[in-house]
Amino acid sequence: MSEIEHRVRQFIIDNLLFGDEAAAPAPETSFLETRLIDSTGVLELVHFLETEFSISIADHELVPDNLDSLRKIGALVTRKQPRRADPLAPSRSGAGEEAGDG
């Protein structure tokens, strides 16, 4: 389970399942099929995702393909977060400075 999935799972346990860890969903469990989250729960979940992960979810993204399981939510959040630079990649600014040092 990814870190995103873990954090969302904990939110669901704490806020929608009232602390019942035994009822927590597995990563692939469908929220619709199990009726885990109702319409109000979806709103709470979206608010959590937007604030916790600093993302914005548009109305057209509020579909089961994005929000029906921990795995799908993890993929959505990963897509929406800004790409981070590879810390091991060579710096572009360093190459330009060397060329100008002559």
The separation between CA 48 and the C-alpha centre of its own chain, rounded to angstroms, equals: 10
- Determine the pLDDT at residue 83: 75
Distances (CA, A) of 1 to 5, 8, 19, 53, 98: 6, 11, 19, 17, 44
pLDDT of residue 36: 94
Residue 92 — φ and ψ, nearest 5°? -75, -35
**Does the CA dihedral 9-10-11-17 come out positive or negative?**
positive
How many angstroms separate the CA atoms of 1 and 66, rounded? 17
pTM for this model (two decimals): 0.78
Per residue in 4-61, pLDDT tens? 999 999 999 999 999 999 999 999 999 999 999 999 999 999 999 999 999 999 999 9
